[in-house]
Chains A and B, each alone.
Chain A
């Protein structure tokens, strides 16, 4: 089945403890992206990648890192999480071109 897989689905952590949210897609898509969803703000792009080893900042990149060493994987790293990073995170992928995204199921992160 074609899908974007995120792990974990739920995560509660403490301020400053490094964490990684994994994202993997099995559709050979070139384009991958991370979004955060907050009430009343919609989805805001954190980082995106147009292909292996090519990443760029989205609208809200502060406090986040990404890497794209393989086409299928695009992990999101929070090196020192803070409470304002409590949010619902989505990974998404797309072929090159205006085809629209396939989204993962989301990761609900709480930083206390």
Chain B
């Protein structure tokens, strides 16, 4: 069975500092991996995804994530945090069995300090 673990339900960074949000997954088949962002009172928005090919993927708003198969990780990074990055971030995994069932992590709330 697939699962997703997001380490740290709350992360605080200073404005301009590196953002690192951690995601580890388990999957018996090659996974598809996603990061979503949720701003207050809004639905989730797709930030980036890994399906095949290049393991470093770039998304919107300057975020990127690297798929590391040996570590079963898909951590999200951004070199310099901005106040507008404050939101909740969800990692998700899907399999390639044809059902495209998504499993979401429990989320990490990012706080950006001035």
Do A and B associate with each other?
yes
Listed in ascending order, the chain A residues whose CB lies under 8 Å from chain B are 4, 31, 33, 35, 40-45, 48, 50, 58, 90, 92, 94, 96-106
CA–CA, A101 to B9, complex, Å?
Answer: 23
Given A45-B102, A98-B94, A101-B102, 11 more A-B residue pairs with CB atoms under 8 Å apart are A33-B102, A40-B106, A43-B90, A50-B99, A94-B100, A98-B100, A99-B49, A100-B46, A100-B49, A101-B36, A102-B46
| B99 neighbours in A (Cβ, 8 Å) | 50
Q: Which of B9, B44, B51, B101 contacts A45 (CB 8 A)?
A: B101
CA–CA, A31 to B102, complex, Å?
Answer: 12
Number of chain B residues whose Cβ lies closer than 8 Å to a Cβ of chain A: 23
Q: Which of B9, B44, B94 contacts A40 (CB 8 A)?
A: B9
A98-B51, A100-B49 given; A42·B44 CB < 8 A: no
User: Quick one: CB contact mask for B81-94 with A, threshold 8 Å, 1 for yes?
Assistant: 00000000010001
| B32 neighbours in A (Cβ, 8 Å) | 98
**Sample (12) of A-B pairs whose CB atoms are under 8 Å apart:** A40-B106, A48-B101, A50-B99, A92-B44, A98-B94, A100-B34, A100-B46, A100-B49, A101-B46, A103-B44, A104-B43, A105-B43
| B100 neighbours in A (Cβ, 8 Å) | 31, 94, 96-98
- Is B104's CB under 8 angstroms from A42's CB? yes
Closest to B34 in A: A100
CA–CA, A100 to B46, complex, Å?
Answer: 7
